[in-house]
Structure 1
Amino acid sequence: MTVVALVLLSVAAVRAEEAPRKIVLVAGTTAKVDAMGHHDYLAGCECLRVLLNKTPGVTTVRVNEGWPEDVSVFDGAASVVFYTDGGGKQAFLSSPERTELVQQMVDRGVGIVMIHQAVDYPKEYADQAKSWLGGIYLAGESGRGHWPSNHVDFPEHPVTRGVTPWTIKDGWLNGLQFVDDKQGITPLVWSGKEYEESKAGIDQHIVGWTYDRPNGGRSFNFTGLDAHSAWELPGMRQLVLNGVLWSAGVDIPEAGAPSEISQDDLNAMLTPREPKKK
C-alpha cells in the first residue's frame, strides 16, 4: 500500500470518528387535559434535547406525536429514544411496517432507549420487545404504582458516572420480565414499595438497566419519570442523560456528561394543558 493510500485511510478514519452521533428523540402524544407535567413526553424530550446538545459531537432531532411523518429522520441515527405511553399504545406498534422498522434499527445495532411506560408491552410483543430492551413490563406479571424511594448507591458503570443520590416519589414499573439469565443486563436502579432503598440483588425491583444486545447494539431503559418535575433532580437527570449517550456509543466523562439546566428552562418546557376535572 502506498504512503498516499495510507494517509487517505487515516484521514477517512479520523473523519468517521469525528462524525456526529445523531440521537432521535421520539415524544409520545402529550394529553391536552391532565395535571401539569404528568406524562409530558414532549417536555421531557425537549429537556433531553437541550442536555444532549451540551455534549460535543452529538446532534439531536425531536419527533412529536409518537412517530415521524417522514421515517428518513431515523437515517444515520446512533440511538433512538422513545418516551411515550405503553401497553400497546406505542405508535411504533400501530402497524407491522413501523414495528419492522424498529426491528431493522435494532438489527443494525442502533441504540434503543425506552423511558417510563414505553417499556410496557402486550403479550404478543413480549419476546420481540425483550430482544430490543432486555426486559419489559408485562401486564399480569409485573408491578406498577407510585411510591417513594431513596437512591443512594449505584454500581460502577459508564451510565452511573457523576450520578448523585436522590429521593423521589415517582410512578414506577417493576417486577419486569427479563431475557433468560439476565444475559447482557446490568441493573442500575432499584425501587419497590416494601423496599425503599437502592440496593443490588433485588431483581424484582429493577427499574433502570442497560442491555448489551447480542448483535452489539446497546439499550438503556428507565421506568421512572412519571412527571416532568423529576428532571429537577440532578442525580436522576444525570443517569438518564448518561444512559442515552451510552446507548449511542458516546464515551461518558468520569464526572458524567454536562447536565446543568435551570429551573426556569425546565418550567418553560412544560406543555400548556387544561387541568383534569375533579
Structure 2
Amino acid sequence: MIPSFTKTTALLLAAMLAVAALLSGGPHVLAQEDKTKIVLIGSPQAGNGGIDGFFHGIRALEKMIVTSPDLRKATVVEAYPFGWPPEGIAADADAVVLYFDGTKANPLDDPERRADLAAFAARGGGLVTLYRAGTSGDPALRAMLASLTGATLLPTAGEVPAVVTAQAVADAGDVARGVTPFRYFGRAGSGVTLTEGAQAVLSGELLAAAALPEAHAAGQPAILAWQYLRPDGARSFSFVGGHDAHQLDEPALRRLLLNAIAWSADLSVPPQGIGTEADPHLVALLIDPGMRRPPFRVAAVTSRADNEVLDLDWGTIEWHVSGPLGNSDTLTTGRGVIAVGKANGRHFHPNSDEVLHVVSGRIRHTMNDVTVEMGPGDTVSIPRGVYHNAENIGEEPAVFFLAFDTAWREVVGEYARTVSKREKP
C-alpha cells in the first residue's frame, strides 16, 4: 500500500532532498535544469575565407551568449562548430542555431539528423538559421526547411559580392529591439519568398560591382532576415547574411542575432535589446589571435627553460616556437613523446597544416581512413582539416618533432586531457 503524505511531510522530504543535492554537488545540476539550452551547430564546409567562416562564427556566437548579461544566467550553451551533436537535439535542446551553407556538406543530408531536427521541431523547439542553412539542393529537405523557417530560399550558384545597407523593418517586434541601421560586406544570391505568417525583420539595399541576381529588383529592398511563428506556436528566425564570419563583429548585427536567439527560445528581450560583453573585435581575434601583438621583427634565441611543456595523459609535448611564446608570427614547432602503449586522441587542425617527423620509436599513424606505420626518419605531412592520431606500437617511448604553418595553432576533437602545464621543465 502506498502511504499518503501530508503537506508538512512533503515539504520536509523536499528539504531533505535539497540538502542531499547540496552535499553531492547537486546545485549545479539543479541550476542547469532550470536553464534554457541553446545548441549551436556548424558544418565542415566553410564560408568565405576557407575554414574560418562557420567554425569561427559558431565560436563567436557561443562567446557572445555566455558573456551576455541578459542571457548568461538563463541559458546553457553547447557549440558544435563542425557538425551535429553526437547525442542529437531532439531530447533537450530548447533552441538550435544552424550556421552553414545548406547546399555544401549539409549535416542534414544524413537521414538520422533530419529526423532528429523534425523531432526537435515537433517538440516545439526554437530554430535560428544563418546564411544558407535554411535551404538545400535536395527538394525534399528544402521543403521541410521551408515549413520550419517560414520561407523558401532557393539554392543559387550566382552569388555576387555586395555591400549591404541594412535596417530593421517597422513593427518588427522584439527581435528588432535596439537594432540600428548598419552596413556589412556580404553576398547577394537568390531572393526570399516568405510563407504566410512570416514577417520580415531586416531589409536592405544591395550595392554590387557585378550585376545583381535577377531575384533582386533594382531599387527594391531585399529581405535579409525574417521571423516566423510556426502553426504550433514555436518560433523560427532566419538571417541570410553571415557568409563571412567577420560580419558578427558588427554591433547592431550582434544585437539582432542575440535578440533572435532569445526570442526563438521564448526568452524575454529587454526594450534596448540584448547586449554582450564579448570583445568588439571577437571574430577578428578568433581568426587571427595575434592581431594585437606587435609584429615579430627580430631574431629570438630561447633556452629550454623558456619552452612550454604539457603533461598529457598519453605523454608530453614541449613547444619551442609559437605565437603565445612570443617568438614567431608564422610558425609553431615542438617535440612530442608518446608513452608505450598510449595514443593521442583523434583530432584535426582547422587553421594549419602539420608536419610530423619521427625521431625514435615506432608509431601507427591514422589520417582519415588511411593508416601507416612509421619509424625513425619517417615524415608525414598532414593538410588542415584531416582527422589524425598516433599510437605508440613499439617497446620504447616514441619521440617526434612537430611543425605547423601558423603561430596560432588550433585543434578540434578528442585531442588529449591535459594533466598539467609547465612553463618550465
TM-score, structure 2 as length reference: 0.53
Are residues 104 and 168 of structure 1, via their aligned partners in 2, closer, same or farther at CA, if it must alter by over 3 Å? Answer: same
1:272 correspondence with 2:355 = no
Q: Which runs of 5+ in 1 are unaligned?
A: 197-201
Structure 1 residue 119 displacement after superposition = 2.0
Structure 1 residue 92 displacement after superposition = 1.7
Please say if residues 116 and 172 of structure 1, whose CA atoms lie closer than 8 Å, have aligned partners that are also in contact.
no
Are residues 143 and 219 of structure 1, via their aligned partners in 2, closer, same or farther at CA, if it must alter by over 3 Å? Answer: farther
After superposition, the C-alpha distances for 1:141-189 in whole angstroms (9 at most, x for unaligned) are x97432112124433311111112111221244412332xxx2211011
Pick the structure with greater CA Rg: 2
Instruction: Pick one of 206, 229, 236 that aligns with 1:219.
Output: 236
Are residues 135 and 34 of structure 1, via their aligned partners in 2, closer, same or farther at CA, if it must alter by over 3 Å? Answer: closer
Are residues 167 and 236 of structure 1, via their aligned partners in 2, closer, same or farther at CA, if it must alter by over 3 Å? Answer: same
CA–CA distance in structure 2, aligned partners of residues 81 and 114 of structure 1: 6
The code of the aligned residue for 1:178 comes to L
The secondary structure found in structure 1 opposite 2:101 is coil
Structure 1 residue 47 displacement after superposition = 1.2
Please say if residues 34 and 273 of structure 1, whose CA atoms lie closer than 8 Å, have aligned partners that are also in contact.
no
The code of the aligned residue for 1:82 comes to L
After superposition, the C-alpha distances for 1:112-143 in whole angstroms (9 at most, x for unaligned) are 11100212222232321111111132137x97
Are residues 168 and 203 of structure 1, via their aligned partners in 2, closer, same or farther at CA, if it must alter by over 3 Å? Answer: same
Are residues 264 and 203 of structure 1, via their aligned partners in 2, closer, same or farther at CA, if it must alter by over 3 Å? Answer: closer
Alignment-derived partner of residue 112 in structure 1:
127
Structure 1 residue 249 displacement after superposition = 0.7
Alignment-derived partner of residue 419 in structure 2:
none
How many residue pairs are counted as aligned between the two chains? 253
Please say if residues 62 and 77 of structure 2, whose CA atoms lie closer than 8 Å, have aligned partners that are also in contact.
yes
Alignment-derived partner of residue 67 in structure 1:
84
Are residues 67 and 258 of structure 1, via their aligned partners in 2, closer, same or farther at CA, if it must alter by over 3 Å? Answer: same
Structure 1 residue 39 displacement after superposition = 5.6
| 1:48-197 correspondence to structure 2 within 5 Å | 48-53=61-66, 54=68, 55=71, 56-71=73-88, 74-87=90-103, 89-94=105-110, 96-122=111-137, 123-139=139-155, 144-156=159-171, 157-179=173-195, 183-193=196-206
CA–CA distance in structure 2, aligned partners of residues 264 and 185 of structure 1: 33
The secondary structure found in structure 1 opposite 2:160 is strand
CA–CA distance in structure 2, aligned partners of residues 110 and 203 of structure 1: 34
When the two chains are superposed, the root-mean-square deviation of aligned CA atoms in Å is 3.3
Instruction: Pick one of 31, 43, 49 that aligns with 1:35.
Output: 49
Aligned sequence identity (%): 24
Are residues 172 and 253 of structure 1, via their aligned partners in 2, closer, same or farther at CA, if it must alter by over 3 Å? Answer: farther
After superposition, the C-alpha distances for 1:85-122 in whole angstroms (9 at most, x for unaligned) are 2126311222x222111111111110111100212222
The secondary structure found in structure 1 opposite 2:98 is strand
CA–CA distance in structure 2, aligned partners of residues 47 and 229 of structure 1: 10
1:254 correspondence with 2:333 = no
Please say if residues 175 and 263 of structure 2, whose CA atoms lie closer than 8 Å, have aligned partners that are also in contact.
yes
Are residues 205 and 273 of structure 1, via their aligned partners in 2, closer, same or farther at CA, if it must alter by over 3 Å? Answer: farther
The secondary structure found in structure 2 opposite 1:162 is coil
CA–CA distance in structure 2, aligned partners of residues 154 and 259 of structure 1: 23
Structure 1 residue 64 displacement after superposition = 3.1
Structure 1 residue 29 displacement after superposition = 1.4
Please say if residues 44 and 105 of structure 2, whose CA atoms lie closer than 8 Å, have aligned partners that are also in contact.
no
The code of the aligned residue for 1:25 comes to L
The secondary structure found in structure 2 opposite 1:35 is coil
CA–CA distance in structure 1, aligned partners of residues 143 and 220 of structure 2: 19
Structure 1 residue 34 displacement after superposition = 6.7
CA–CA distance in structure 1, aligned partners of residues 283 and 52 of structure 2: 15
Alignment-derived partner of residue 199 in structure 1:
none
Q: Which has the higher strand share?
A: 2
Please say if residues 159 and 187 of structure 2, whose CA atoms lie closer than 8 Å, have aligned partners that are also in contact.
yes
The secondary structure found in structure 1 opposite 2:248 is helix
Q: Which has the higher helix share?
A: 1
The code of the aligned residue for 1:215 comes to D
- The answer to which structure, 1 or 2, has the higher relative contact order (CA under 8 A, 6+ apart) is 1
Q: Which runs of 5+ in 2 are unaligned?
A: 15-29, 213-218, 288-349, 354-425
Which of structure 1's runs of 4+ aligned residues deviate more than 6 A? none
